[in-house]
């Protein structure tokens, strides 16, 4: 069964950092482009960014609200995707989902709360 | 690309049809000829689940009472006969243009 499991969410102060992980199983992560999506009650579903497979350069793209603060990376040997979040703002408070590029598989999400 | 759904709230009687509209601010026809418009269902307390891809293709396991249609900038998700398990929020999403963007969501509830 194809599965994505996020972890690493929690409560963090504004300006702080957090790293989310996404463990993939049931498929070979190295073959896949992957994305991170977040969801808030106010802004709904919002793309965070994407990472291409290594054979296509492993390059990343981000949306404007997180550009320069968030970094997506992958460790294909561990079948794990990461989202490093720095300089966190209160508006980054959301449920973060790890999703396959075609959006046919979603994790259950992990909650990030940025608050003092 | 801005995705606009209507209505935002849709009370429906069990067994009756339901229809959700989604309009995009730009054409979603890609240079490869495909139209990358998806529909997602999010049941209470669950992650979104893809129902429809490329306008009208149902995902495996999705009941055939769900259908998608449309072209260019106007799209529709239809439920032929609403069942209790269909309660939730439905989102359209485009991935023709970067960044992919979602509609605001339509909450389907039983009257």
pLDDT tens by residue, B59-96: 999 999 999 999 999 999 999 999 999 999 999 999 99
> In this predicted structure, what is the pLDDT of residue A41?
84
DSSP 3-state of A65: coil
In angstroms, how far is the first alpha carbon of chain A from the final one?
40
Residue A103 in contact with partner chain B when CB distance is under 8 A: yes
Distance CA A62, CA A66 (A): 7
**Using the beta-carbon criterion (under 8 Å), do A45 and B102 form an inter-chain contact?**
yes
Asked if B41 and B59 count as a contact pair (C-beta separation under 8 A), the reply is no
- How would residue A106 be classed by pLDDT, with cut points 50, 70 and 90? very high
The CA-based diameter of chain A, rounded to the nearest angstrom, is: 42
Nearest to B80 by CA among B2, B15, B5: B15
Phi-psi region of A70 (alpha: psi -120 to 50; beta: other; left: phi over 0): beta
> In this predicted structure, what is the pLDDT of residue B51?
98
From B48, which residue of chain A is nearest by alpha-carbon distance? A106
Residue A36 in contact with partner chain B when CB distance is under 8 A: no
Asked if B29 and B37 count as a contact pair (C-beta separation under 8 A), the reply is no
From B91, which residue of chain A is nearest by alpha-carbon distance? A45
> In this predicted structure, what is the pLDDT of residue A75?
96
**Using the beta-carbon criterion (under 8 Å), do A61 and B98 form an inter-chain contact?**
yes
Q: What is the mean pLDDT of residues A88-114?
A: 97
Best mutation target among B99, B104, B106, B107 (most A Cβ atoms within 10 Å) is: B99
Nearest to B3 by CA among B67, B52, B74, B107: B74
Nearest to A103 among B50, B103, B105 (CB): B50
> In this predicted structure, what is the pLDDT of residue B32?
97
Phi-psi region of A112 (alpha: psi -120 to 50; beta: other; left: phi over 0): beta
Asked if A45 and B100 count as a contact pair (C-beta separation under 8 A), the reply is no
In the predicted structure, residue A83 carries a pLDDT above the cut 90: yes
CB < 8 Å to B54, chain A: none
CB < 8 Å to B104, chain A: 44
Q: Which two tokens stand for residue B41?
A: 């269902």
The mean pLDDT of chain A is 96
**Using the beta-carbon criterion (under 8 Å), do A44 and B91 form an inter-chain contact?**
yes
**Interface contacts A/B by beta carbons within 8 Å:** 37
Rounded alpha-carbon distances, angstroms, from residue A22 to A1, A4, A66: 16, 6, 19
pLDDT tens-digit map of B21-50: 999 999 999 999 999 999 999 999 999 999
DSSP 3-state of A48: strand
């Amino acid at each position: 069964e194809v599965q994505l499991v996020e972890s690493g969410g929690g409560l963090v102060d504004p300006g702080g950092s957090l790293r989310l992980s996404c463990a993939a199983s049931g498929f070979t992560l190295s073959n896949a482009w992957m994305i991170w999506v977040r969801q808030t009650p106010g802004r709904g579903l919002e793309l965070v960014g994407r990472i291409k497979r290594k054979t296509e350069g492993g390059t990343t793209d981000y949306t404007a609200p997180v550009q320069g603060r968030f970094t997506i990376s992958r460790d294909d040997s561990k079948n794990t995707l990461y989202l490093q979040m720095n300089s966190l703002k209160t508006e980054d408070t959301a449920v973060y989902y790890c999703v396959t590029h075609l959006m046919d598989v979603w994790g259950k999400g992990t909650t990030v709360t940025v608050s003092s | 690309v801005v995705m606009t759904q209507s209505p935002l709230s849709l009370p429906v009687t069990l067994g009756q049809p339901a229809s959700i509209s989604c309009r995009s601010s730009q054409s979603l026809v890609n240079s490869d000829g495909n139209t990358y418009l998806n529909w997602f269902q999010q049941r209470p307390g669950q992650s979104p689940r893809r129902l429809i891809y490329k306008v009208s293709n149902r995902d495996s396991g999705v009941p055939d009472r769900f259908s998608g249609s449309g072209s260019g900038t106007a799209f529709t998700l239809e439920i032929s006969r609403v069942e209790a398990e269909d309660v939730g929020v439905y989102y359209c999403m485009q991935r023709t243009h970067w960044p992919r963007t979602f509609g605001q969501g339509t909450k389907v509830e039983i009257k």
